[in-house]
Structure 1
Amino acid sequence: MAAALAGKMNIGEVEAATLPDGGKAIVSNIPSNVTVAFDVYPEGVVSHSQEVLDTETGKIVSTLHASRVGGFSWACPWVDGGRGKPTRLSGFSGFDYVLNPGFSSNRGYILEGAADTARQGQMILECLAATVKDDRKAEEYLAGWKLDTQARLAALEDAIFESTARQAELTERLRRSEETASTSKAQCESAILEAAAQKERLEGLIDALASSFPASSRKMCSTR
């Protein structure tokens, strides 16, 4: 969660974060889990094993996971492959426990933001309160989790905006390229037609000159 708010993958125990509304906040990063195994198979299946730590956040993760609330999402820096090329991962920073997890199609997660948001938010809050034994702290954890979701949403919206702008730029470049190609083709066709017309004019001049000579001169010219 803190990674999304801090805007980077490798974060310290305390980080300054920019909130979705532009405000600033200090985020504490208390580890909850450590990745001990991670595999990506050719067919696209991702498997991983996590050691849940004996920390307050680790206990929260254990409770939420057992209740099928939220799930793991990998934190990986990446490089945009551009148009027609795949996005490539450039590193691996572990797995975060989030409200909207990656690779969740095979699990019945309760996702914040689904049909009954208020009811599900209450379920999440109850899970947190039962673990930390402090209602206020549970509310703070939930608020932080929601900020993480908002930060991820804002990042996705920025990526969509950049992708749309890139698409518009490429479309304009294609249009200009097609216009240039069309102009070049028209110029080439015009040059060919002009060359043919010039050849026709020259042949006409030759015939005219030849016909202006007396027949005897034309005969002499032809026998030389």
Structure 2
Amino acid sequence: MSKRTGVIRYNLNDIKRNFTGQKRAIDIDAAMRLFNGAALQESIRKGDIYGYIGHQYREKYTLDVPETVMVDGVPVVLEPACRTIYLKCYPTGDVEHEQEFLDTAPGRVGARLWDSKAYGFSSAIYAPEENGLRVPKGYFGMDLVRAPNYDNNRGYAVMLDSVAPGVFTAVDTFPTESAALLDSVDNMIKESDAFAAGLSNDILKQYKINDELNEYNARLLERLHQAKIEAPMLDSAPKVMERGINMDTGATMLDSAQRFMANENLPGYQPAPEKAEEKGAVDVVVGGVKKAMAMVDSVIRGH
């Protein structure tokens, strides 16, 4: 069963740290428009905003973490640990949020850490600097981190709260908010292309050989049927198959089939007889029968 944190409250203007952390000047009005906006609130109600253990996925794959990534040609699922189920921002800069730990491997780890009063939440927000203020334009969830920037959150981020200053300089200078968003469809297309490129040419070649073998097999069975030779059954194979046989036998089998097909002694189709030849053969048979019947009749009569 999923575990909820209860409502957590912190203030954007007060990190509750004296010697560590990153103090930032936040545009509170922009934060309210984003956090309390209809679009984000709908996503939260539908459970679409996820968080992870640490910020590493976001550092590597952008703030909007993809569902899967390709690693050495193999798709790997990036499992989330939690999701935002409540979020609200007040004119004072106070932020309230509640997280729900998921029944995933990272979610269970996160719940255990939370129960142990370890780690804290750090928000992932796209907030470029404009006129000296960080302007929140995109909220991507709360991650569970070892040292949250806002101590009361036990999270503000570009702000990724626990990341050292300067790490996301390139992200901060994005010209538009869309530059920070991950296009899920494009990512899926790239992954599909990478997967298709990884298909082995040898497998495709083997498919072609198998198709040719199937065609030859059908023709051979037809000839065996014409010659009234029964095809062998699998029962004739040894009970224990040898191991270590070379698996690339398709070409050898195809060559053998071609040599067999070239044998002139194989039964084949006989040309259709001409009608005259058919009539002559019938006359010969009928004449022979009549002669035999006449001889039998002569013997019976005693002649």
TM-score range, shorter chain: 0.3 to 0.5
TM-score relative to the length of structure 2: 0.31
Decide which structure has the larger Cα Rg and report it: 2
TM-score by length of 1: 0.41
